Amino acid sequence: MKDITITRQVFALDELDPAARCVAIEKLRTENYENIPSDMISEGLYGELVVLITGEDRGDVSAKNLEKLTGLTLEWRLSYCQGDGVAIYGEIYNDYATQLTWGNAVWAQLTRNSYGYHYSHRNCFTVELFDGEGDIVEDNNVMANELGDICAKLERYGYAEIENFTSEESVIELLNNNDTPRIFNTDGTLAPSQFWAAL
């Protein structure tokens, strides 16, 4: 048996020609998109929901804390497909959700409807309002529309976070923070990892 040594040139992003640099950046953006930490998006969405219904900014919030704080759960799917968006479920009370229009209602029930078993968006839940005695309160869908608008705002927030995480600036920053930024072939494709090197 004979050992063979293979030598290969690998390049840092700023050493690539403009066409190869574009290929490299698009590859890194795609990899970032495919590997977005779902907790990062979820906790940001939960925190934004708290702000929108209470007016209090608590930063990122865990699913457990969201339910504890608001009585709500949030489901999302943001992959640029039909039926994607944000949906909210659970019970919410007027003493906490001060940014919503309550009228004579004391609490609201947000229930998954038939769309909610296949999709996640603003039309996946129904809203029923109740007074302190548990009787239904009519509000001409005022709160349902407000909650739908909140879902739309959360959807925009989520897509903005995804765009930020996959932006050219973000992938370059991640690459610059990498110990081995020489990872590209001359054409901008990724070299096999055993050839990656420091500057």
Position 16 scores a pLDDT of 92
pLDDT of residue 116 exceeding 70? no
| Cβ atoms 13, 24 nearer than 8 A | yes
How far apart CA 54 and CA 100 sit, in angstroms, is 8
pTM of the model: 0.83
How far apart CA 130 and CA 41 sit, in angstroms, is 32
Mean pLDDT, residues 8-28 = 90
pLDDT of residue 159 exceeding 90? yes
Mean pLDDT, residues 104-129 = 85
Position 128 scores a pLDDT of 95
How far apart CA 77 and CA 68 sit, in angstroms, is 23
pLDDT tens per residue across span 63-114: 999 998 889 999 898 888 888 889 999 999 999 999 999 999 999 999 888 7
Mean pLDDT, residues 128-135 = 94
The dihedral over CA atoms of 138, 73, 96, 149, expressed in degrees to the nearest 10, equals -60
pLDDT of residue 148 exceeding 90? yes
Of the pLDDT bands very low, low, confident and very high (cuts 50, 70, 90), residue 133 is very high
More confident position, 150 or 1: 150
How far apart CA 134 and CA 125 sit, in angstroms, is 20
How far apart CA 30 and CA 92 sit, in angstroms, is 38
How far apart CA 8 and CA 11 sit, in angstroms, is 10
Cβ within 8 Å of residue 135, ≥6 positions away: none
Mean pLDDT of the chain: 89
How far apart CA 77 and CA 81 sit, in angstroms, is 9
Position 36 scores a pLDDT of 87
pLDDT of residue 5 exceeding 90? no
Position 11 scores a pLDDT of 87
